[in-house]
Amino acid sequence: MAFELPALPYEKTALAPHISAETLEIHHGKHHNAYVVNLNKLLDGKPEAAKSLEEVILGAEGPVFNNAAQVWNHTFYWNSMKPNGGGKPTGELLAAIERDFGSFEKFREEFVAAATTQFGSGWAWLVLENGKLKVTKTGNADLPMKHGQKAILTIDVWEHAYYVDFRNLRPKYIETFLDSLANWDFAAANFAAG
* Nearest approach, Cβ of residue 111 and Mn ion (Å): 18
Whichever of 51 and 146 has its CB closer to Mn ion, that residue is 146
Which of positions 97-136 make contact with Mn ion (CB under 5 A)? none
Whichever of 65 and 107 has its CB closer to Mn ion, that residue is 65
Whichever of 127 and 161 has its CB closer to Mn ion, that residue is 161
* Nearest approach, Cβ of residue 138 and Mn ion (Å): 13
* Nearest approach, Cβ of residue 77 and Mn ion (Å): 7
**Distance, CA of 140 to CA of 72 (rounded, Å):** 13
Which of positions 142-181 make contact with Mn ion (CB under 5 A)? 156, 158, 161
Query: How many residues bind Mn ion, per CB under 5 A?
Result: 3
Whichever of 34 and 49 has its CB closer to Mn ion, that residue is 34
* Nearest approach, Cβ of residue 11 and Mn ion (Å): 19
Residue ranges in contact with Mn ion by CB under 5 A? 156, 158, 161
